[in-house]
Amino acid sequence: MAEPESQLVAQESPPAVRQQLTGWRLYLLGLALGLANLIMALDVSIMAPALPAITSEFRTVDDIGWYSSVYLLVQMSCQPVFGRLLQFYEPKMFYMASLVVFEVGSIVCATSPSSVALVLGRAVAGAGAAGIVTGSLAIFGDTAPLRERPRGMAVIAALQSVAYLAGPVVSGALTDSRLTWRFNFWINLPIGFVSFVTVFFVIARRPSPKADTPLTQKLWGVDPAGAVILTSSFVCLFLALEWGGNVLPFSSSRVWGTFLGFGLLAICFAGWEAWRKDNAIIPLRILHQRTVAVCCAFSFLYALASITFSMLLPTYFQTVHSASATQSGLYYMPTTLLSVLGILITGFSVTAWRYYTPFLHLGPLLFLAGSVLFHRLTPESTQGEYLGYQVLTGLGFGLSIHVSMIAVQVVSLPEDMPTACVTELLCGQLGGAVGASVAQNVFLSQLRTELGRIVSAEEAVRFADGGLEAMVKGMGGMEEGVREGFRGALNDAVTMAFVMPIAATVAAEVVSWFVEQRRLEEETGKTGEESRTTTSGSEDVEAAEEKKVGDAV
């Protein structure tokens, strides 16, 4: 097994000619990539409103959890693999092929005759989404000047946020119309087609310098064994999070067994990657770069914090303040709008000033202030309070959420950038998955405890496990004192879960200070090999190049 590795490492490749876009071509490319990321975001946000209609048509609720989780599971598992594949294939063709796979998955979902077929379609779409993400990063990093990337990333992220905001509304309208829930997936086709055609005409083909590498060496470079171990660990984690506290108690052998399996497989994965060195699916030398490692931790913690509010704030509105589903969506709108504003402020400011670390520090401070205020909510809190607090959390989230990606791109060598960026994204997705499970379990556990002080233990469990919608309806027929007790219990359960964002944001603020202080410079267009032998007259650039040499060695 050592021979293919040595051959792959020793193989010399001519430097690729990088294509820099400017003007209207760059804006068109940004729009095309933004549209693809928009339909990916829609594919996540459209599911919840359509679930009642889907389960009614297929006459089963057994697969509800997998409709969304299989999409994320496949995407997380494929992203590192695709990041490695991009060293052998040109980003343009890889992106376009991934877009086709995503569209095929959408067609399978739209035409699915059964629940199993829908799950399969979601898995195919998840694989396509992973390729779209990695391909977008590679294309944008290859064609956009470094100074323009923050602004372009801000526009793409803003489109994603709009999709997350509009997705439930669009899905609800389509599901209730004669078009049915299936049209939620059909709408991906024309948008994806526009992105496909634009990318095809705007950027030229740029074959990879390693395109002629023999297939056996490509397979060795992709690290199939590492991919299998990583995917298996994610399966164990998702099963544990899906079962724990929901389907089964945490004391169940199936729950702690899957957690144990995740831990053991994670250790095996780390050992395997250390042995594989540069041919690992996630080369550990990338994480030896301080800023990359810190940004991965920051992304995990920030996703852990933000997912709690996106899950439980609508619950607070509907249960404690008796808001309808539509009203709760409107009440949550300040978070989304302020997040978009924060993303745009950061993107355009970093492009103009070239400094990004201040936003990495400022965002968590604002988010922390809002989190503390949300933790102090009561059933008597006014609309002005729970809408106003979102100014802090929404703006704080938007100011920082994409700065870690900018930092990773600045410190990474060109040949390492796709893998480093994918690793940072993977940590954020992992933080969101873990945070969602922890927030839900803290909420339900505290709710059972609080209800146990009002009714018997058996009734408390029955109310907590019977669904929040049924509980709210049941509260309408209760006596005033009991109803207020239930409102207080629901409020305390939500605010207890808000402790997690406070802790995670404090940790994120601390780790953000370990990010290297760098300044965006004009793109040099050099490969990593060239950057090792060329010096610059600028002190900032000299320091950056010296750091990259140390990281590569």
Task: Please provide the DSSP assignment of 461-492 as one string.
Answer: HHHHHT-HHHHHHHHTTS-HHHHHHHHHHHHH
The radius of gyration of the chain's CA atoms, rounded to the nearest angstrom, is 24
What is the C-alpha to C-alpha distance for residues 398 and 337, in angstroms, rounded to an integer? 9
| Closest to 120 (Cα-Cα) out of 106, 134, 131, 130 | 106
Residue type at 222 in one-letter notation: V
Q: How far is CA 97 from CA 73, 102, 320, in A?
A: 20, 9, 47
> pTM of the predicted model, to two decimals?
0.77
Output the pLDDT for position 470.
63
- At residue 362, the pLDDT reads 95
Note the pLDDT of residue 106.
95
The pLDDT, as a whole number, for residue 458 is 67
Class of residue 215 by CB neighbours under 10 A (exposed 0-12, middle 13-18, buried 19+): exposed
As given in the structure block, the two tokens for residue 19 are 């294509």
What would the two tokens of residue 411 be? 């410190």
Go through 439-462 and write b for each residue having 16 or more CB atoms within 10 A of its CB, e for each that does not: bbbbbbbbbbbbbbebbeeeebee
Contact (Cβ atoms closer than 8 angstroms) between residue 200 and residue 70: no
pLDDT of residue 542: 40
The type of residue at 315 is: T
**Cα angle: 155, vertex 406, 509; to 5 degrees:** 110
pLDDT of residue 375: 93
pLDDT at residue number 536: 37
Residues of the chain with pLDDT under 50: 1-16, 522-553
pLDDT given for residue 521 in this prediction: 67
Q: Hey, what amino acid is at 240? A: A
Q: Are 273 and 226 in contact (CB under 8 A)?
A: yes
Q: Can you spell out the DSSP letters for 342-354?
A: HHHHHHHHHHHH-
pLDDT of residue 528: 40
Q: Residue 325: what pLDDT?
A: 66
Cα distance between residue 522 and residue 255, in whole Å: 51
Structure tokens at 260: 């144990």
pLDDT at 313: 86
Neighbours of 503 (CB within 10 A): 14
pLDDT of residue 123: 92
Q: Which residue is listed with tokens 């042995």?
A: 275
* Neighbouring C-beta atoms of residue 270, cutoff 10 Å: 14
pLDDT at residue 65 in the model: 64
- pLDDT of 460 reads 63
Pair of tokens at residue 388: 């106003």
d(C-alpha 171, C-alpha 43), whole Å: 10
Q: Tell me the CB-side half-sphere exposure of residue 109, using CA atoms within 13 A.
A: 32
The one-letter amino acid at 546: E
* Beta carbons of 346 and 150 less than 8 angstroms apart: yes
For residue 14, the 8-state DSSP code is: P
